[in-house]
Structure 1
């Protein structure tokens, strides 16, 4: 008797995550030939992973964690994303790719490292997330119980600006002058401002395009769920610096946690405003 085995969405997603990690590593190897800069000799003390030769393993583990986390979240919210005007993978992973790009680029305004090298490296880091969205969209289908998601309405386009305003405001009112996170706030003010606005718009774009798919009964629930997703991913992006250089882990955690609070505040206030403005049934 022959029994047909069906692969679960999570098994297929795990294979796709592995492929995207391999592509990420390959792109870094390929693009490293296009600039004359050694990340392991960047003027900062080397991390313990670099010194003992385990950085490649630590980096792959970090990539697996980051890609796997986002893939799992995407599979949970995808049924609702499928009701939006853009393909689900684009709604979710285009903003993520931008966040990844600007997460890498921040180093050029903090330490600073060469801008050209960071742009190329940022592209190498961002492209695999676009690939992840395309592959999950194409080859992974929701399980029967998750095919029909709740009806959702995409947030207005200006929600991106609203969330970005809270992010930029939080950075300039609290993170830079009060928490004193490592930044180019004083030494490179123009570049830091441009980067902060661009990063804020990227996280705002995630809420605009994908935030509506996160189920929530109240504005607070929506804020916590969307901000937690972005915050955990953003913290992993920040902590990747510690795999390369012996930088302050406390600073990385503080900046990641503070950014998450700003996002939660922006999303909460936005959702409360949108719900109040809806006509009563």
Structure 2
């Protein structure tokens, strides 16, 4: 973490700027379109008039984790520093963007609102990644691991299997019974995007064994960000925190299984 110790003030400043941008864009987007979250009970933060400060603190933690992970892995990622940051921003901006479309299935959100909410998260995350690359990154051209698109499909398949296990056996909140086609399309797209994140960032994975590499991707690179993404809804409405951990935990377990299967049986050096 030498890069973080050296550039900590840059990281904090970039995170703060991008969080402010994110909140401004969300405020403007709310004037154009609104989510159908009124069907849920308001969260404790809403009830006590603490929504705005809670969203700011949440966003600072969320973007802060995202930024810290980049600084931690960027020295292993090949490419010019701005390109590394740009690709990192696309990776997690895309994760949030695609994730937003699940709202169409869960609470009958509109396609336009899901697109808009995803876009206003995508833009600040992309900007943050690019700025982090420019101001805290390093140019690396000697660490290009063999990339294979097969990894995208293996991880996507495992994500789909895991989600349908959660839908049918664990009974997490879903619409697979009443909207089977929409649920499958979203699950497929989200799984493919997780695979794309692995494809882009696999050189940044630390660990010597296949198991440790699978854990590093599933917990450090993806897991922390995926968990924070799901906690956003808990700021707005009353939801079970345990259900969030079950939902995210099962996702990550099967994603890590996908990484393990790919690295153990299909990866060629």
Fold similarity call, TM over 0.5: yes
Contact 1:227/1:260 (<8 A) preserved:
yes
Contact 1:167/1:200 (<8 A) preserved:
yes
Aligned residue in 1 for 2:236: 244
Aligned residue in 1 for 2:120: 124
Q: SS in structure 2 opposite 1:46?
A: coil
Shift of 1:251: 1.5
Q: Which has the higher helix share?
A: 2
Contact 1:91/1:206 (<8 A) preserved:
no
Q: SS in structure 2 opposite 1:128?
A: helix
Equivalent in 166, 183, 188 of residue 192 of structure 1: 183
After TM superposition, the score normalised by the length of structure 1 is 0.87
Shift of 1:82: 3.1
Contact 2:74/2:137 (<8 A) preserved:
no
Runs in 1 of length 4+ with deviation above 4 angstroms?
83-86, 147-150
In the TM superposition, 1:105-184 aligns within 5 A as 105-141=101-137, 151-172=143-164, 174-184=165-175
Aligned residues: 264
Q: SS in structure 1 opposite 2:149?
A: coil
Shift of 1:115: 2.7
The separation in 2 between residues aligned to 1:242 and 1:46, in whole angstroms, is 9
Q: List runs of 5+ in structure 2 lacking aligned partners.
A: none
Contact 1:84/1:154 (<8 A) preserved:
no
Equivalent in 23, 29, 49 of residue 31 of structure 1: 29
Shift of 1:121: 0.8
Contact 1:81/1:91 (<8 A) preserved:
no
Q: List runs of 5+ in structure 1 lacking aligned partners.
A: 1-6
The separation in 1 between residues aligned to 2:148 and 2:263, in whole angstroms, is 11
Q: SS in structure 1 opposite 2:39?
A: coil
The separation in 2 between residues aligned to 1:150 and 1:235, in whole angstroms, is 32
Pick the structure with greater CA Rg.
1
The separation in 1 between residues aligned to 2:198 and 2:62, in whole angstroms, is 19
Query: Can you list the C-alpha shifts for 1:71-112, whole angstroms capped at 9, x where unaligned?
Result: 111111111213489921133221211111122221221122
Please report the RMSD computed on the Cα atoms of aligned residues, expressed in angstroms: 2.1
